[in-house]
Amino acid sequence: MAQEQSAGVLGSGIPLSMRDRPFPLRALSSLSRFMRTKPLGAFGLVLIVVLLMMAVLANVIDRVDPDAIVREPAKNCTPEQVEDRSVECFSPELLAQAQSDATLRLRYPASRFQEGSGGGNVVTNAGSSSDHWLGTDGRGRDLYSRIIHGSRLALLVGIGGAVIAVFLGTIFGVVSAYFGGWVDFCMQRVTDALFAFPSLIFLLVFSQVVPDPNKYWITFALGILGVASVTRLARSAVLSTREEVYVLAAETVGASNLRIMLRHILPNIVAPLIVIFTISIGAYILAEAGLAFIGLGDPAAISWGQMVNEGRQLGTARPQMALYVGLAITLTVLGFNLLGDALRDVLDPRMRGRSGRAGF
Regarding whether 236 and 162 lie in a shared domain, the answer is yes
Angle at 153 between CA 51 and CA 132, to 5 degrees: 65
125 in any annotated domain: no
Whether 23 maps to a domain, the answer reads no
Question: CA angle 284-290-294, nearest 5°?
Answer: 145
- The answer to the question of residue 5 being in a domain is no
Where does the chain have alpha helices with state H?
2-10, 23-37, 39-56, 58-61, 79-82, 92-98, 104-107, 143-179, 181-196, 199-209, 215-225, 227-241, 245-252, 257-260, 270-293, 304-314, 319-347
Give the CA angle between residues 294, 152, 218 to the nearest 5°: 45
DSSP letter assigned to residue 306: H
Closest CA to 339 of 10, 46, 98: 46
Query: Quick one: residue 135, left, alpha or beta (phi over 0 = left, psi -120 to 50 = alpha)?
Result: left
Residues 204 and 86 in one domain: no
Residue 150 backbone dihedrals phi, psi, to 5 degrees: -65, -20
pLDDT digits (tens, 9 = 90+) for 44-78: 999 999 999 999 998 888 878 888 777 776 677 77
The answer to whether residues 250 and 268 touch, using CB atoms and an 8 Å cutoff, is no
Whether 35 is in a domain gets the answer yes
pLDDT of residue 3: 47
- Same domain for 162 and 243? yes
Rounded Cα distance, 285 and 265, in Å: 31
Q: Identify whether the C-beta of residue 344 lies closer than 8 Å to the C-beta of residue 360.
A: no
Residues 111, 148 within the same domain: no
- Residue length of the chain: 360
Question: Is residue 1 one of the residues assigned to a domain?
Answer: no
**In this structure, what CATH number is given to the domain that contains residue 58?**
1.10.3720.10
31/42 Cα distance (integer angstroms): 9
Residues sharing a CB contact under 8 Å with residue 40, sequence separation 6 or more, in sequence order: 338, 341, 342
Q: Which residue from 32, 8, 4 is spatially nearest to 18, judged by alpha carbons? A: 32
Total number of domains in the chain: 2
In a domain, 61, yes or no: yes
Write out pLDDT tens, residues 276-304.
Answer: 999 999 999 999 998 888 888 888 888 89
Q: Taking residues 212-237, what's their average pLDDT? A: 91
Domain that holds residue 201: 29-66+143-351
In this structure, the answer to whether residues 201 and 324 fall within a common structural domain is yes
Same domain membership, residue 232 and residue 283: yes
Shared-domain flag, residues 153 and 292: yes
Give percent of the chain with pLDDT exceeding 90: 29
Looking at the structure, do residues 281 and 314 belong to the same domain, yes or no?
Answer: yes
219 and 157 in contact (C-beta within 8 Å)?
Answer: yes
Query: Where would I find the H helices in 57-142?
Result: 58-61, 79-82, 92-98, 104-107
Whether 209 is in a domain gets the answer: yes
Q: Quick check: 175 pLDDT over 80?
A: yes
Question: Is 189 in the same domain as 319?
Answer: yes
98, 206: one domain: no
Cα–Cα dist 186/213, whole Å = 31
Does residue 204 register a pLDDT over 50? Answer: yes
Query: What angle (nearest 5°) sits at the alpha carbon of residue 333, between those of residues 65 and 33?
Result: 110
Q: Are residues 96 and 217 in the same domain?
A: no
Predicted TM-score of the model (pTM): 0.78
Same domain, yes or no, for 106 and 42? no
Indicate whether 128 belongs to any domain. Answer: no
